Structure 1
Amino acid sequence: MNLLSFTLFLGILVHETSHAKDEDTITLSCPAHRPCRTAFASYNPITLKCDRPENAPVYWQYLDIFHPHARAVTFTQSSGSFPQDEDLDHQEHLKVLDLRSRSVLLSGNLKLLSPRVQDTGIYTCRDEKKHLAYYEIDIQDAQNIYISHARLGHRVHPNTTIDLGEVGTAEVFTVWSGWQPCDRCGMLGERKKVGFCYIKITKNSTVIEEPGPCGLLQSHFSPLQFNHTPELRIETCDGTCHEIASTENEDLTMVVDDYHTYLHADALFRCPMSSIYKPVYWEHGNASFTRLQQMMNNASYVLDKATGGGTLFIPVLNKSEEGVYRCYVDRRLTGRFHVIFLNVQYTSVPQHSSMFMSIITGLSVFLAVLLFVIILQYCKETTDRVIH
């Protein structure tokens, strides 16, 4: 498979997998007879499918590829009591508990609620007889994602080449998804695409390792050192679309919240159902929030990196920022937050209380001075006795 076809294939594999509009996850299907290697962004939910026989119990295993003596360990299963693996060391046991706490089984499919970089590895689904699904997953750091905006003339990461000595040469490059739809209708909006770090290793012009996600290949080739991070590419777009506009009464509105806070406090909103794999935008009244404004340092807000803008942070709220904030995912309203400032009333201190506090303060100062004089006199008398 040449590099061009491989890139196109990965773009389809990662971003044209099925996910319903009322789900916050991207779904990948890799049966055991068709294993795949692909990358995902940390902190964004993913679902790994397991095509099990009807209602058959299954269990999921994880293999930590960075552990030198690792073996596949079961961390979740669809039925029965969970077995205790006595051969696990303390570190492996903690790893299994942590992974289990961030996983949910849905009809045998594995949903990783908040995947992390350290979750990179091999995931397999089994029943009592055989493997049903096989995944080699690289979780790349979305907190460290590089964001570029075409409107500002930003460049994407260039390809880089690393000399591995006798091993060969590593070419590090970005594999891109397709463009997501424009994030809003009826106005100028933004659209984004996600890019992941991939590596191809050659020696004497011969490919010795097919292109694969950086984290997976780095575990096999220890000399690999690079600074190529995942990427988020953004450009402006025409928001003309033929969909019916979203309303506040739609069933997809997951959160309707009265956000009580104080003037000059900070505010943090998390848009339900948002992820880096979906178009998302925010508005407040007639004002909209864009990545372009933020990157031009012309904004009093911050759209987060990890989810591609699914979290909105507003530091030091002023009076004009009171009101309703709405967020849209796939151009549908999913969250509504009403910022309401609490009234703070200050009462004057009664005169007699103020006078009492003044007396107490004066008395404290007098006693402190008196104690100092006594200590000074004692030290002087002690010194005189020593001299004589």
Structure 2
Amino acid sequence: MGNFTKPSMAPRVILLSQSVMLATLWLISLSFSILWAHSSISCSYKSLCRRALLSGNNIVLRCDHPGALWYFTSILGKAVFLISSIHNTKNLPGGSLLLVNPQPSQSGLYSCQDNHNTLTVEYEIDFQDVTTLHITHKTLDQQPLQNETLMLGGEVLIFTQWEPWQDCNLCGVPGERKRLGYCYIEEPGEKPMPCGLYMGEEKLAHSRLRPELQVEACLVPYNPAKETDQPYFIFDIYQLGKLTDSMWLTCPLASIYRLGFPSYRKPGSSSSPPAFMGSVCRRACQDVHLARVPDAASQLGLDQFTATVPVTMLSTLWLLLSLSVPILGLYPFVSCPEGHKCQLALLSNNDILLECPLSRAHWNYSFFISKKNGAINSMASNMEITSGGDLAISNPLPSQTGLYHCWEENSSHVTQFEIDFQDVRSLHITHNSLEEKPLQNESLHVGSAQLIFTRWEPWQDCNRCGVPGERKRLGYCYIEELLDDPMPCGLYLAESPSWSSRLRPELQVEACFVECSDEPFAQLGYVIFDSFQFNEELESLSLLCPLASIYRPISWEANKIPLTWQNELSGKSYNSTLNLATGGQQLQIFQPAIYRCFVEQELVAQFNPMATLELLAPPKRENKTQALPRKADLVPLKLKLVLLMGIALALGLLLFNTLCSAPGKSRKQMLLAK
């Protein structure tokens, strides 16, 4: 049947440094422009736009052509580079280009071309050195730079071209606003140019060749019509070390191109709110609160990080995590050496990522059953090419068994994946402790030389440590002919479909016990706390364990009692049901309890029964124009505040108890709570 390279497969997990406060949400922001994670500039179709920007500040160059190719020509030379060779750039899924911390040396021409090598837009950018930024404040009677003339082969004028004032960074109270100014040079009778583009390769040390930033006081009324809701506010903690007298705090979503301010109290408040206890970074007149909470908050059990999301269920956050899967690495993945053809079997309805070793990858497919074939643009809606060129497949179907190959223009190397998505609905599950036996080898037909057997994957790690646990392994249906290499059943029978009860994948479970090691298998980096509530119309609910997959070790608890595969398969699980087709990723529950799920022995989520009290939304700003409430109206408000403080204290104690009593390894965790 031919020689094939065995693909490598491993679970991909998120590695989050505990010194980075908002890694998760920043990664999400790379995929969602609505989070305003980066400022962007745009240019008309087939136009050349000349701009000055500041170095050291992220920027997105817009090009609305998915799969666009970007080229760069430096002002220091005429060589043209493919953008993928520049380390601090990233091609975004929609075709735009992200430059992270651009340097003055990256000034030059950025050209965007579509898949047919047609030029769509060009940006000629001067990244002026932010380290030379001249900053003045009007209230301090500080003056901006004055115009000057220089002799550069003739008399030229150096001046500052100012951007419009940004909006006031506060509303309803005194604030500040700023504007940026860029160094420009103008020759008589010519259009002015940014200094760096005008100078080109010529280097001239002059104190006037620098950008500016000017600040002034402002006061604007609160306008509800201009308010923008941002669906989360974030808490983090910090601690000064013995050898450090200070440290930097970073405000997520902030940029020198946007308004924003740091504060140690909420504007309009006479004192800091007791539940916040820290500096607050806010974008003006918007309900996005990003707060750094000092180490005293750890006494409430918030060991690393808290992000409070004002929504009822986990679905919003989990949707964001799922949609940004190419960046977060939530999918298990398979890889194949460049230029090889890899043949493998996988399970249907379980997400997978096919890695392409080519930097500018295109994907084609050929389905064996339906005989459909084509390019990625015509593929099913459950497939997407990531920004890195890999192919993410969500809930693959058995009918999508076939050949997937990635290729690169102007290259003869083609990497191919021949995949049999075996039907997970026919999965044969056995447990060694129940004396259940796996499937036996059989002949495809009576008297035939084709042998049907199960090719087993290695055992996964034990799903718990320090206490009795379970581990599982997957087995795939293969057919072997005499003197030929075995093939996955779906690939072997693609041309001549046949039915047999033996043509099915397997999953085997057994008991295990391992000691906890000091180093966890995967530093997942955060824990999600969610709530649920039964009502009269719902007899059951389905809980989803983030990061879980049938290809990874998973375990669940209900009120600290393990929910085991053995009880599930023996019919002794009465109040919940594991979804076997997802390897336990989903849990159907029939009564309230505190449910916790673990991935690779790490606690990743806890689901608590929701009380009948209403969930509190983020606080809205006080409208200064409204009449003050009557004294009688303040009584229920005070009662609500007392009740809220009591709930916050109880929640803190609950979280402290939860994190301290988590089975397995103890570690610092980032907490996502509602």
The alignment's TM-score, normalised by the length of structure 2, stands at: 0.41
Q: Give the aligned partner of residue 13 of structure 2.
A: 20
Q: Give the aligned partner of residue 356 of structure 1.
A: none
Q: Give the aligned partner of residue 265 of structure 1.
A: 539
Out of 182, 205, 215, which is 2:490 matched to? 215
Give 3-state SS (helix, strand or coil) of 1:292's partner: helix
1:242 aligns with 2:514: no
Q: Give the aligned partner of residue 103 of structure 1.
A: 384
1:278-297 aligned within 5 A: 278-297=552-571
Shift in Å at residue 44 of structure 1? 1.6
Would you say the 8 A contact 1:282–1:328 is kept in 2?
yes
Shift in Å at residue 33 of structure 1? 2.7
Would you say the 8 A contact 2:442–2:502 is kept in 1?
no
1:184 aligns with 2:458: no
Shift in Å at residue 227 of structure 1? 3.3
In angstroms, what is the RMSD of aligned CA positions?
2.8
Shift in Å at residue 20 of structure 1? 3.0
Q: Residue 177 of structure 1 aligns to which amino acid in structure 2?
A: E
Q: Residue 469 of structure 2 aligns to which amino acid in structure 1?
A: G
Q: Residue 337 of structure 1 aligns to which amino acid in structure 2?
A: F
Out of 36, 51, 54, which is 2:357 matched to? 51
Shift in Å at residue 181 of structure 1? 0.8
Would you say the 8 A contact 2:368–2:402 is kept in 1?
yes
Identify unmatched segments of 5+ residues in structure 2. 16-328, 614-674
Shift in Å at residue 177 of structure 1? 0.8
Residue 162 to residue 192, structure 1, CA distance change in 2 (3 Å): same
CA displacement 1:195-218 (0-9 Å, x = unmatched): 01011123xxxx2x4201111111
1:312-331 aligned within 5 A: 312-315=587-590, 317=591, 321-322=592-593, 324-331=594-601
Shift in Å at residue 158 of structure 1? 0.3
Residue 34 to residue 309, structure 1, CA distance change in 2 (3 Å): same
Out of 342, 357, 360, which is 1:36 matched to? 342
Number of residues paired by the alignment? 294
**How far apart, CA to CA, are the structure 2 residues paired with 1:283 and 1:224?**
39
Q: Residue 407 of structure 2 aligns to which amino acid in structure 1?
A: R
Give 3-state SS (helix, strand or coil) of 1:282's partner: strand
**How far apart, CA to CA, are the structure 2 residues paired with 1:14 and 1:245?**
22
The alignment's TM-score, normalised by the length of structure 1, stands at: 0.69
Q: Give the aligned partner of residue 153 of structure 1.
A: 435
Would you say the 8 A contact 2:531–2:607 is kept in 1?
yes
Q: Give the aligned partner of residue 240 of structure 2.
A: none
Residue 156 to residue 101, structure 1, CA distance change in 2 (3 Å): closer
Q: Residue 598 of structure 2 aligns to which amino acid in structure 1?
A: Y
Q: Give the aligned partner of residue 314 of structure 2.
A: none
Would you say the 8 A contact 2:333–2:355 is kept in 1?
yes
Would you say the 8 A contact 2:427–2:504 is kept in 1?
yes
Residue 174 to residue 106, structure 1, CA distance change in 2 (3 Å): farther
Work out which structure has the larger RCO, using CA pairs closer than 8 Å and 6 or more positions apart in sequence: 1
**How far apart, CA to CA, are the structure 1 residues paired with 2:355 and 2:519?**
32
Once the two structures are overlaid, the 10-residue window that deviates more, 125-134 or 44-53, is 125-134
1:359-374 aligned within 5 A: none
Shift in Å at residue 45 of structure 1? 1.5
Would you say the 8 A contact 2:454–2:477 is kept in 1?
yes
Q: Give the aligned partner of residue 174 of structure 2.
A: none
1:299 aligns with 2:569: no
Q: Give the aligned partner of residue 65 of structure 1.
A: 368
Q: Give the aligned partner of residue 338 of structure 1.
A: 608
Identity of aligned residues (%): 29
Would you say the 8 A contact 2:382–2:393 is kept in 1?
no
Once the two structures are overlaid, the 10-residue window that deviates more, 40-49 or 269-278, is 40-49
Shift in Å at residue 341 of structure 1? 5.6
Residue 285 to residue 51, structure 1, CA distance change in 2 (3 Å): same
**How far apart, CA to CA, are the structure 2 residues paired with 1:38 and 1:261?**
42
